[in-house]
Structure 1
Amino acid sequence: MSRLLNKRTLITGGTSGIGLETAKQFLAEGARIIVTGVNPDSIAAAKAEFGSDVLVLRADSASVSAQKELAQAVERHYGKVDAVFLNAGVSVWQPIEDWSEKMFDRSFDVNVKGPYFLIQALLPVFANPASVVLNTSISAHVGSTRSSVYAATKAAFLSLSKTLSSELMQRGIRVNAVSPGPVDTPLYDKMGIPDAYRQQLNADIIQSIPAGRFGTPEEVAKAVLYLASDESRWTMGSEIVVDGGRLLND
């Protein structure tokens, strides 16, 4: 397959879950790839899996300076970049009374501020045309309990797919979003849910999904692949929801 033949691509949070699967699919479609991560173990595993085919970099999405350094590394490696999947993120769900200012800021730094300033830093690096895909969430639309901060970050990120599309389209940069429903990924394991409640929570979540199961990273990656490719060249400021019908219940 060659849907991304010779496309120069960047995937943040590309060493596990949806990002890792997207990297695999991009490779299979002929892309050149840089992926980022922060966990040393997942970075090492990605390097071992991809070998010299993929440049794996450490970059903390919460750090604006790290995003600027990443943009410089992309420019040194590629010269220009054709497609970017902004996937790095954190998912913390807890009651409002348990949030501290520091925790609140960390969620917005990782999920919104860092990616925003990465786009800014990449402006001189984007090819014309170029595609940017934001990994948002159906949480931007669903009023789930304990999700107040996470959902707010994803709603802000989703908004950028429209506002930045309007602002950047004259530069040939398309911005779109993919919004997954519940997906079986390592990010889900990091939500801080006590093991004692995990089995019941899984059952409750599955009951809310008309398709009757969690999604897979592969299914989300297929949507990202479409938005990154030239097949979607007339798609701007749009959102693809990949949720097994979850939003049909709201």
Structure 2
Amino acid sequence: MGHLDDRTAVVTGGSTGIGLATAVRLADEGAHVFVTGRRETELEAAVKTIGTDRATGVAGDIAQAANLDRLYDAVRARGKGLDVLVANAAVAEFMTLEQTTQDHFDQTFAVNVRGTLFTVQKALPLLNDGASVILTGSTSADRGMAAFGAYAASKAAVRSFARTWSTELKDRGIRVNVVSPGMIETPGGTAVNGGEEAMPAVRAAAASFVVAGRMGEPEEVAAAMAFLASPEAGYVVGANVYVDGGANQV
């Protein structure tokens, strides 16, 4: 018996990396998981990885309202409401203040902030009382790293959303929390860091300042997501759970 038997979950940005690992873990706990992604080939592969009897793929971009409507139409058709929502989809591109363009800013906030807000807002009619909403944040929201300006600000907004929404949804027993990953080895992170050839240097850098002495794995973030999704986290509300190997903690 899993913690989420017969529950319904949504994981946005669930085709690869942290989102995929989270979807697999929630399915392992017994949930039927609706997974979104912008690239249909990757989404189809993700559904096969999770299990075609345990997952439903809905292609789309969370920055597009019609795509969110199509996602929630699919959830509604299952007829069991929604118990777990992991708003994980995000984009990451890095520019200094001097380099920042309107397109960079608009794209970052369209997905990471506006997309997250409407992912949750449009789910409200489906969310069952006592549901768990989990937002993917980032340790960069707490740090002043060069070229992370727009991205870090977008993740700071996500952290703020969790506080406000926790208050607004408390009468329905809906818990809203954030999971903030640190340096996690994912396909997206590899691409942003310059590809596979750059990863030995990235891993060495992580070893030098991460207390755990290494980069994290997507499954380690998924474990935190699964805890917050479960009834065992019933007294955890409005929290920001860091999965960063201690990098931002000591």
> Please, what TM-score do these two structures have when normalized by structure 2?
0.93
- 1:186 deviation in Å? 1.4
Superimposed CA distance per residue, residues 3-62 of structure 1 (whole angstroms, 9 cap, x where no aligned partner): 111111111111111111111111111111111111222112123332232101102022
User: Which residue in the other structure is 1:46 paired with?
Assistant: 46
Q: Does residue 1:83 correspond to 2:111, yes or no?
A: no
User: Which residue in the other structure is 2:58 paired with?
Assistant: 57
SS of the residue corresponding to residue 169 of structure 2 reads helix
SS of the residue corresponding to residue 53 of structure 2 reads helix
SS of the residue corresponding to residue 122 of structure 1 reads coil
1:78/1:96 CA distance change after superposition, 3 Å: farther
1:21/1:248 CA distance change after superposition, 3 Å: same
User: Which residue in the other structure is 1:142 paired with?
Assistant: 143
Q: RMSD between aligned alpha carbons? A: 1.7
Q: Is the 8 A contact 2:203 2:214 kept in 1?
A: no
- 1:158 deviation in Å? 0.8
How many angstroms apart in 2 are the aligned matches of 1:54 and 1:196? 34
> Structure 2: which amino acid aligns with 1:200?
A
4+ residue runs over 3 A deviation? 192-202
Q: Is the 8 A contact 2:8 2:80 kept in 1?
A: no
Q: Does residue 1:157 correspond to 2:169, yes or no?
A: no
How many angstroms apart in 1 are the aligned matches of 2:52 and 2:34? 12
How many angstroms apart in 2 are the aligned matches of 1:119 and 1:57? 16
**What are structure 1's unaligned runs of at least 5 residues?**
none
How many angstroms apart in 2 are the aligned matches of 1:149 and 1:190? 19
> Structure 2: which amino acid aligns with 1:81?
L
Q: Is the 8 A contact 1:68 1:118 kept in 2?
A: no
Superposition pairs of residues 16-55 of structure 1, within 5 angstroms: 16-49=16-49, 50-55=51-56
How many angstroms apart in 1 are the aligned matches of 2:79 and 2:194? 41
After TM superposition, the structure 1 stretch with the greater mean CA deviation from structure 2, 71-80 or 107-116, is: 71-80
> Structure 2: which amino acid aligns with 1:68?
D
How many angstroms apart in 2 are the aligned matches of 1:226 and 1:195? 31
Superimposed CA distance per residue, residues 178-211 of structure 1 (whole angstroms, 9 cap, x where no aligned partner): 1111000112023263777554344223312111
After TM superposition, the structure 1 stretch with the greater mean CA deviation from structure 2, 14-23 or 200-209, is: 200-209
Q: Does residue 1:15 correspond to 2:19, yes or no?
A: no
After TM superposition, the structure 1 stretch with the greater mean CA deviation from structure 2, 203-212 or 238-247, is: 203-212
User: Which residue in the other structure is 1:227 paired with?
Assistant: 228
Superimposed CA distance per residue, residues 127-165 of structure 1 (whole angstroms, 9 cap, x where no aligned partner): 011110001011111111111111001000011111100
Aligned residues: 249
How many angstroms apart in 1 are the aligned matches of 2:199 and 2:97? 21
Q: Which has the higher helix share?
A: 1
User: Which residue in the other structure is 1:178 paired with?
Assistant: 179
Superposition pairs of residues 163-242 of structure 1, within 5 angstroms: 163-191=164-192, 193=194, 198-242=199-243
Superimposed CA distance per residue, residues 83-123 of structure 1 (whole angstroms, 9 cap, x where no aligned partner): 11111111112222222111211111111101211211111
> Please, what TM-score do these two structures have when normalized by structure 1?
0.93
User: Which residue in the other structure is 1:93 paired with?
Assistant: 94
Q: Is the 8 A contact 1:84 1:131 kept in 2?
A: yes
SS of the residue corresponding to residue 225 of structure 1 reads helix
Q: Is the 8 A contact 2:190 2:196 kept in 1?
A: no
SS of the residue corresponding to residue 52 of structure 1 reads coil
Q: Is the 8 A contact 1:93 1:192 kept in 2?
A: no
- 1:235 deviation in Å? 1.2
